[in-house]
C-alpha cells in the first residue's frame, strides 16, 4: 500500500518537472543574444542585415535609389537595402513608428518636427532638384507668362472656376503635395473641393499619367518628369522660382527611442550618400542624357538657405567621413 501511495505522489512531481523543462527550452529557443543588434524583422535567413528605408517616390521612380543600392551592396555585401516609396508625410509616419531605419524626405517643416520630436537624428541634405508646373502644350491659361509661381496658381484657379482648366494634385501629403498647398496658401486661395481640382491620392508617376490623360495642370518634381517625359505630352510651362527649390534630406531614426533599428547600417548608408563616391554617383546619374539630381552635401547655402542645424550636421558628417 505504501508503495502505491509513493507512486501516486511521484506522478505530479514528474509532470511538474517536465513542464518546467519544456518552458525552459522554449525560453532558450526565443532568447536573443545580448550582443546581437538584429531583430527577426531585419535579419534574413542567409545572415544579411536588412536596411529599411522609407523614401519619397521620386528617388524610386527615377531609378536613383536602385543605383545607390547596387553600389552600396557591392561595398557591404552583408547588407540588403530595401525600401517603401511613399509620400514624405507617410514616410515620416513610418519613421515615427520605428518601422524604418532611415527616412529620405523633402519637406523641411515636417522634417524639423520629426527631428524636434526626438524621432530622428543627424538629418543631412544630400541632393537637390526643383518643382515645375506642367500642363498641355496649348497652355490655355498662359501660365508660361506668369511673373512668379503664385501668379501661375492664381491663373489656374481663375481658369478652373471659369471651366477652362483642370488641376491634378497628388493629394497624399507628399513633399510635392505640401509644396503645392503652400503655394495655394501664399496665393490666398483654397482649391480643395472644387470640381476642377482632382486629388489623385497616388505617387508622382501615377499623378503625372492622370494629368496627362486629362490634359490638366499639375506640380511635379523635375526628375520624375524628366524620367517620364517620353510617355506623356505635358510640357514644362513654369519653372525657376526660388520657392520651387526641392531639397532631399536623409534622417536616421533615433536608436534611443527605437533600440531595434539598424542604426549602424543606416549610418553607413548616409555616409555613402555624402561621400565623394556617393555624391559623384548622384551627380552623374542621368536619364535621356539629362541629370536628374544635383549633389549638394555641404552646399545648401549656395541656394540661399541659412540653417544653423544643417551647418552643424555638415560638420558632424564630415567628421564621420574622416573617422
User: 136-159: per-residue pLDDT in tens?
Assistant: 999 999 999 999 999 999 999 999
DSSP 8-state symbol, 217 = B
Which H or E element spans position 53? strand 49-56
> Average pLDDT in the 27-38 region?
30
Q: How confident is the model at residue 43 (pLDDT cuts 50, 70, 90)?
A: low
Pairing of strands 245-253, 120-135: antiparallel
Mean pLDDT calculated for residue range 43-60: 88
Average pLDDT over residues 288-300: 95
pLDDT band with cut points at 50, 70 and 90 for residue 42: low
Position 20 scores a pLDDT of 36
Domain boundaries 49-129+245-322, corresponding CATH code: 3.40.190.10
Mean pLDDT computed over every residue of the chain: 88
Q: Ranked by mean pLDDT, which of 12-16, 39-43, 118-122 comes out on top?
A: 118-122
Grid coordinates standing for 184? 495655394
C-alpha cell at 319: 567628421
In CATH, the architecture of 151-236 is 3-Layer(aba) Sandwich (3.40)
Tell me which residue of 68, 65, 59, 109 sits closest to 86, measured CA to CA: 59
**Rg (alpha carbons) of the chain, rounded to whole number:** 26
Q: Is the pLDDT of residue 116 over 90?
A: yes
Q: Give the model confidence (pLDDT) of 224-272 as tens digits.
A: 999 999 999 999 999 999 999 999 999 999 999 999 999 999 999 999 9
> Which residue's C-alpha cell is 543588434?
37
The fraction of the chain above a pLDDT of 70, given in percent, is: 86
Paired strand residues for 294: 128
Decide if pLDDT at 33 tops 50: no
Gap between the Cα atoms of 159 and 157, Å rounded: 5
C-alpha–C-alpha distance, residues 142 and 209, integer Å? 22
This prediction has a pTM of 0.84
Q: Does residue 2 carry a pLDDT above 70?
A: no
- For residue 288, name the pLDDT band (cuts at 50, 70, 90): confident
Residue range 108-127: average pLDDT? 97
Per-residue confidence (pLDDT) for residue 12, from 0 to 100: 40
pLDDT digits (tens, 9 = 90+) for 184-232: 999 999 999 999 999 999 999 999 999 999 999 999 999 999 999 999 9
Q: Where are the domains of the chain?
A: 49-129+245-322, 151-236
173 pLDDT exceeds 60?
Answer: yes
Amino acid at each position: 500500500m505504501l508503495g502505491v501511495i509513493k507512486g501516486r505522489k511521484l506522478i505530479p512531481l514528474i509532470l511538474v518537472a517536465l513542464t518546467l523543462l519544456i518552458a525552459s527550452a522554449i525560453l532558450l529557443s526565443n532568447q536573443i543574444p545580448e550582443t546581437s543588434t538584429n531583430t527577426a524583422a531585419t535579419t534574413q535567413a542567409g545572415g544579411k542585415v536588412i536596411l529599411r528605408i522609407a523614401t519619397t517616390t521620386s528617388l524610386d521612380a527615377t531609378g536613383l535609389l536602385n543605383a545607390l543600392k547596387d553600389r552600396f551592396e557591392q561595398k557591404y555585401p552583408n547588407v540588403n537595402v530595401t525600401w517603401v516609396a511613399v509620400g514624405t508625410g507617410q514616410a515620416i509616419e513610418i519613421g515615427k513608428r520605428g518601422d524604418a531605419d532611415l527616412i529620405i524626405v523633402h519637406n523641411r517643416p515636417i522634417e524639423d518636427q520629426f527631428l524636434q520630436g526626438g524621432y530622428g537624428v543627424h538629418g543631412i541634405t544630400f541632393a537637390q532638384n526643383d518643382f515645375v508646373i506642367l500642363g498641355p502644350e496649348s497652355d490655355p491659361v498662359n501660365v508660361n507668362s506668369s511673373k512668379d509661381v503664385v501668379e501661375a496658381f492664381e491663373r489656374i484657379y481663375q481658369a478652373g472656376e471659369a471651366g477652362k482648366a483642370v488641376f491634378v494634385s497628388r493629394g497624399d501629403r507628399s513633399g510635392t503635395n505640401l509644396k503645392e498647398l503652400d503655394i495655394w496658401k501664399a496665393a490666398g486661395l483654397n482649391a480643395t473641393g472644387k470640381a476642377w481640382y482632382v486629388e489623385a491620392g497616388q505617387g508622382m508617376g501615377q499623378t503625372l499619367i492622370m494629368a496627362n490623360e486629362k490634359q490638366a495642370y499639375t506640380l511635379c518634381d523635375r526628375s520624375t518628369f524628366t524620367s517620364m517625359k517620353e510617355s506623356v505630352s505635358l510640357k514644362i510651362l513654369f519653372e525657376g522660382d526660388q520657392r520651387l527649390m526641392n531639397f532631399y534630406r536623409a534622417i536616421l531614426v533615433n536608436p534611443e527611442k527605437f533600440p531595434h533599428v539598424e542604426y549602424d547600417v543606416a549610418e553607413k548608408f548616409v555616409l555613402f550618400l555624402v561621400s565623394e563616391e556617393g555624391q559623384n554617383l548622384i551627380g552623374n546619374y542621368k536619364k535621356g542624357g539629362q541629370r536628374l539630381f544635383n549633389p549638394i552635401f555641404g552646399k545648401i547655402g549656395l541656394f540661399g538657405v541659412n540653417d544653423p542645424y544643417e551647418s552643424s550636421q555638415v560638420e558632424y558628417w564630415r567628421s564621420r567621413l574622416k573617422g
